[in-house]
Amino acid sequence: MKNIIIAVTLTLVIALSLMATGCSPNYDSMIADSTKAIEKNPDDAEAYRERASAWEEKGDYDQAIADCTKAIEINPDDAKAYYFRGNLYRKKGDYDQAIADCTKAIEIDRDDANAYYFRARAWEKKGNIDKAIKDCGKALEVNRQVWMDAILYKYRARLWLKIGKDRRYREDLAKAQELSDYVDEGRVLPD
């Protein structure tokens, strides 16, 4: 079991390294490795999530959703599986289901910025910019990663602009740029 987890983790590390250098990872290989891990341990929710990630990268959102759903069946307290599936539903245009899944993830783990961020993006798509801004603010409140703060401030700046709040747009954009410079200077590395 430990070897399977190491193999899947190593595959993901290699894929991320390839992406960072501009090379494309082999998602078919990632799917095959995750499938092998699942065959050896059908209750490995993490392997289902990892395979879902590869399906997403290949553009097969239905397959990715199915794997997230299986991960949730195995571990109903898996907040990541809920917000990951929610983001997949958002990409498919099912904003209500995206919001429902992200809300469930927040109920499980109120301190995970990703769930708020993905729910904000679904609210935006539904045209509810005020709720999107509120969720983005909550994501900033609970987030612990400087590199993600830069993304969140930039995203919220865009939301402010959509509703004509120019001053707030400029403030958040300046914060995003400051944080991006901080990250780019190597003072902090994304995890």
Please give the backbone phi and psi of residue 109, each rounded to the nearest 5 degrees, phi first: -140, 95
CATH number of 1-76: 1.25.40.10
pLDDT of residue 186: 52
pTM: 0.81
What is the rounded CA–CA span in Å between residue 35 and residue 50?
Answer: 10
pLDDT of residue 24: 63
- Within 10 angstroms of residue 140's Cβ, the number of other Cβ atoms is 19
pLDDT band with cut points at 50, 70 and 90 for residue 70: very high
In the predicted structure, residue 139 carries a pLDDT above the cut 70: yes
Mean pLDDT of 106-117: 97
pLDDT of residue 9: 45
pLDDT of residue 25: 77
- Per domain, the residue ranges of the chain are 1-76
pLDDT of residue 144: 85
pLDDT tens, residue by residue, 4-53 = 334 344 444 445 454 454 556 799 999 999 999 999 999 999 999 999 99
What is the rounded CA–CA span in Å between residue 10 and residue 158?
Answer: 36
What is the rounded CA–CA span in Å between residue 59 and residue 37?
Answer: 22
pLDDT band with cut points at 50, 70 and 90 for residue 180: confident
Higher pLDDT, 114 or 189: 114
Mean pLDDT of 134-163: 94
pLDDT band with cut points at 50, 70 and 90 for residue 183: low
Average pLDDT taken over every residue of the chain: 87
Q: Return the structure tokens found at 178.
A: 């400051």
